Structure 1
Amino acid sequence: MPRYCFTLQVRPDLIEEYADRHRAVWPEMLAALAETGWRSYSLFLREDGLLVGYVESDDLAAAQEAMDRTAVNARWQADMAPYFIDLEGAPDRGLVLLREVFNLDDQLAESIRS
């Protein structure tokens, strides 16, 4: 399954509040993410507000489009937008995707096949 990693920047003055909001994500939002193809989704937050996300999805763009069709996502994105800096549009569209350059499991599997 394709893996995606991304970054966003949380406002330094709102880091703890942002983390608190993610300790109890709305059940409706959790269900929508699962139903639209988001798997192994994690967020990591550095002390300076750098947010790094990881998600697996057959097709991230399709998963994002499916989320766009849910009412809960519009509410969640509106609630989360004030937490970010240097953001154009909704947080789930402002992701800066990172290129994967190494994966242990992939290379081990390839070495076994070789």
Structure 2
Amino acid sequence: MMRYCFTLDLKDDPQLIKEYEEHHKHVWPEVLSNITRSGIQQMQIYRLHTRLFMIMDVQDGFSFEYKSTLDKASSKVQEWEQLMWKYQEPLPLAKPGEKWMLMEKLFDLEEQVVTKEE
């Protein structure tokens, strides 16, 4: 299993942030279905002020291309993504249209401990 971590910002507006959080308490079934069909086994989103952090644990063989194909084929997923743009603010280094940006892992306690014990 692989883990991917992403980041994205929200617009700095308390009412919009509240709405965004409410939407995520009741994610549309079609969106949830696409997430699991794509091979994502676990997904969590955390927030600190306007900064979002998403963790995705995926099955072996997971493909971002396959997930993108599923998402593009679903009108409800496209509608959800359009709605989320009302709340989301791309990071300054994002390319046009880019939302969640993949983060680079810098530290892993398990890897450090195993290395030191050998």
Give the TM-score band, short-chain normalised: 0.7 to 0.9
Which of residues 93, 100, 118 is equivalent to 1:95?
100
Shift of 1:44: 0.5
Which of residues 36, 39, 46 is equivalent to 1:37?
39
Question: Runs of at least 4 residues of structure 1 off by over 4 A?
Answer: 108-111
1:63 aligns with 2:67: yes
Give structure 1 stretches of 5+ with no counterpart: none
With the length of structure 1 as denominator, give the TM-score of the two structures.
Answer: 0.79
Residues 8 and 50, structure 1, Cα contact 8 Å, conserved in 2? yes
Q: Residue 98 of structure 1 aligns to which amino acid in structure 2?
A: M
Q: How far apart in 2 are the matches of 1:109 and 1:39? A: 26
1:2 match: 2
Structure with the higher helix share, 1 or 2: 1
Structure with the higher strand share, 1 or 2: 2
With the length of structure 2 as denominator, give the TM-score of the two structures.
Answer: 0.77
Change (3 A) 1:75 1:59: same
2:30 match: 28
Q: How far apart in 1 are the matches of 2:56 and 2:47? A: 15
